[in-house]
Structure 1
Amino acid sequence: MRGTLVATSIALVVLLGYALSCAVRPYRDCWLCDGKAHHRSKRNPKLSRPCRWCRSTGKRLRLGRRMWNRARRVHREA
Structure 2
Amino acid sequence: MRGTITATGILLVVLLAYAGSCIIRPFRDCWLCDGRGHHRSKRKSKLSRPCRWCKASGKRLRFGRRLWNRVRRVHRDAAAGARIAR
Normalising TM by the smaller chain, what interval?
over 0.9
Instruction: Report the AA paired with residue 10 of structure 1.
Output: I
Can you give the 5+ residue segments of structure 1 that lack an aligned partner in the other structure? none
Q: Counterpart of 2:28 in 1: which secondary structure?
A: strand
- Would you say 1:46 and 2:79 are equivalent positions? no
- Give RMSD over aligned pairs: 0.4
Provide the C-alpha distance between the structure 2 equivalents of 1:16 and 1:43, rounded to a whole number of angstroms: 44
Can you give the 5+ residue segments of structure 2 that lack an aligned partner in the other structure? 79-86
Q: What TM-score does the superposition give when structure 2 sets the normalisation length?
A: 0.90
Going by fraction, where is helix more abundant, 1 or 2?
A: 2
* Aligned pairs, number: 78
4+ long deviations beyond 4 Å: none
Provide the C-alpha distance between the structure 1 equivalents of 2:54 and 2:13, rounded to a whole number of angstroms: 31
